């Protein structure tokens, strides 16, 4: 009986050794350029490119301290049920300030798309910005498209560039929409968000220099740092007159349209914070 047990143990060890010898050799590190998901034996072949250092800036909406997503009902402060069905906007002249030092320019213009399911050109609510290692204490950007870029036709940019998007360009004005927000809200208190609202803001008069946002983070060589850019929807809707001024295409020949667009652009530009 003892001999039989020894024989079985030897057979198991022999099989394990055989299996190990037949394993697939390759790079087993997911961070390597030549990572092989099928590899079962490390063979020292992993190759690594230059380590990348960058900031991932992720934009989120919130109301009442809770996250809000596109097509989700929420109730802004002092308002009934509301739904945002689309939100897109341009950020310009994005920069970081080194702690106690000078500003570091990161990007001339970027497009934020809060509902990537409706937009198939590769834009989203996340921006990847190359940032050198260091300590930073301030994030700065503008809301809109700088005047020198605003009238350049979308066709003059390569596909995938933020300014190549055709349906954010007003042909009639030869300018871009700076912010495009669409949705519905419950205006009569019946519990149904049925009245459509929209604010499509543009024209250089509505370009806004957003107040610098305090941040406090350090990033090392080869490190990814995530930073949330928050939009306070309570603040935005509290500044608007949704009883009468709830739609605008920024028509400069219509006083009500310009008033609604200006109120929204001012409120939206002041609603940003970071964490």
What average pLDDT does the structure give for the chain?
Answer: 88
**Does residue 119 share a domain with residue 208?**
yes
| 266 inside domain | yes
User: What is the average per-residue pLDDT within 124-141?
Assistant: 95
Q: Is residue 94 part of a domain?
A: yes
> Does a structural domain hold residue 161?
yes
What would the mean pLDDT of 143-148 be, rounded to a whole number? 96
Residue 48 resides in a domain: no
Same domain, 11 and 110: no
Q: Answer whether residue 49 is part of any domain.
A: no
Higher pLDDT, 46 or 232: 232
The residues with which 180 forms a beta bridge, in sequence order, are: 88, 200
Domain identity same for 79 and 190: yes
Residue 71 near residue 147 (C-beta atoms within 8 A): no
At 31 the pLDDT is: 61
pLDDT over threshold 60, residue 16: no
Tell which wins on pLDDT, 46 or 16. 46
pTM: 0.81
Provide the residue range defining the domain that includes 34: 2-42
In a domain, 28, yes or no: yes
Q: Let me know whether 152 and 174 are in one domain.
A: yes
Co-location of 125 and 34 in the same domain:
no
Does 154 reside within a domain?
yes
Q: Determine which of 51-55, 59-63, 134-138, 149-153 has the lowest per-residue pLDDT on average.
A: 51-55
Residues 114 and 216 in one domain: yes
The arithmetic mean of pLDDT across residues 149-177, rounded, is: 94
In contact, 181 and 198? CB cutoff 8 Å = yes
pLDDT above 90 covers a percentage of the chain that reads 74
212 shares a domain with 118: yes
CB-hemisphere CA count at 13 Å for 95? 15
pLDDT at 158: 93
Please check whether residues 23 and 67 belong to one and the same domain.
no
Rounded alpha-carbon distances, angstroms, from residue 203 to 59, 190, 251, 272: 24, 36, 9, 21
Q: How far is CA 136 from CA 95, 109, 131, in A?
A: 10, 21, 10
Residues 6 or more apart whose Cβ sits within 8 Å of residue 221: 51, 53, 133
Confidence class for position 120, pLDDT limits 50, 70, 90: low
Q: Do 85 and 215 belong to one domain?
A: yes
Instruction: Identify whether residues 6 and 70 lie together within a single domain.
Output: no
Domain count, the chain: 2
Question: What's the rounded mean pLDDT across residues 4-31?
Answer: 54
250: in domain: yes
Percentage of the chain surpassing pLDDT 70? 85
pLDDT tens sequence across 20-51: 445 788 887 666 778 887 877 767 777 756 66
78 and 153 share a domain?
yes
Position with higher pLDDT, 4 vs 46: 46
What count of other Cβ atoms lies within 10 Å of the Cβ of residue 29? 15
Q: What is the DSSP string of 49-98?
A: -----EEEEEEEEEETTEEE-TT--B--TTS--EEEEEEEEEEEEEEEEE
Q: What is the pLDDT of residue 15?
A: 43
pLDDT for 22 = 56
- Tell me the C-alpha distance between 257 and 275, whole Å: 34
**133 & 254 share domain:** yes
Task: Report pLDDT for 39.
Answer: 78
CA angle 160, 114, 243 (to 5 degrees): 130
**169 within 8 A of 149, measured Cβ to Cβ:** no
Backbone angles phi, psi at 124, to 5 degrees: -155, -170
Lowest mean pLDDT among 6-15, 105-114, 196-205: 6-15
pLDDT at 37: 79
């Amino acid at each position: 009986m003892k001999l039989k047990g020894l024989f079985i143990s030897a057979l198991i060890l022999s099989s394990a050794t055989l299996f190990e010898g037949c394993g697939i050799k390759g790079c087993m590190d997911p961070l390597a350029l030549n990572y092989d998901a099928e590899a079962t034996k490390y063979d020292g072949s992993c190759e690594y490119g230059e380590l990348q250092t960058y900031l991932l800036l992720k934009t989120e909406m919130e109301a009442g301290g809770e996250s809000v997503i596109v097509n989700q009902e929420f109730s802004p402060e002092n308002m009934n049920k509301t739904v945002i069905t689309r939100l897109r906007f341009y950020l310009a002249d994005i920069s970081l300030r080194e702690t106690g030092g000078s500003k570091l320019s990161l990007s001339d213009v970027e497009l934020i798309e809060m509902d990537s399911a409706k937009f198939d050109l590769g834009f989203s609510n996340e921006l990847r910005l190359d940032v050198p290692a260091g300590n930073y204490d301030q994030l700065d950007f503008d809301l809109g498209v700088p005047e020198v870029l605003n009238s350049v036709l979308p066709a003059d940019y390569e596909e995938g560039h933020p300014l190549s998007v055709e349906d954010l360009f007003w042909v009639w004005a030869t300018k871009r929409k700076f912010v495009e927000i669409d949705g519905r809200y419950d205006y009569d208190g019946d519990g149904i968000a049925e009245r459509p609202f929209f604010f499509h803001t543009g024209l250089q008069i509505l370009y806004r220099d957003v107040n610098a946002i305090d941040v406090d983070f350090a990033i090392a060589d080869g490190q990814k740092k995530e930073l949330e850019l928050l939009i306070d929807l309570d603040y935005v809707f509290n500044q608007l007159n949704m009883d009468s001024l709830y739609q605008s295409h920024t028509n400069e020949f219509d006083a009500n349209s310009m008033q609604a667009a200006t109120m929204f652009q001012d409120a939206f530009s002041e609603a940003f914070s970071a964490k």
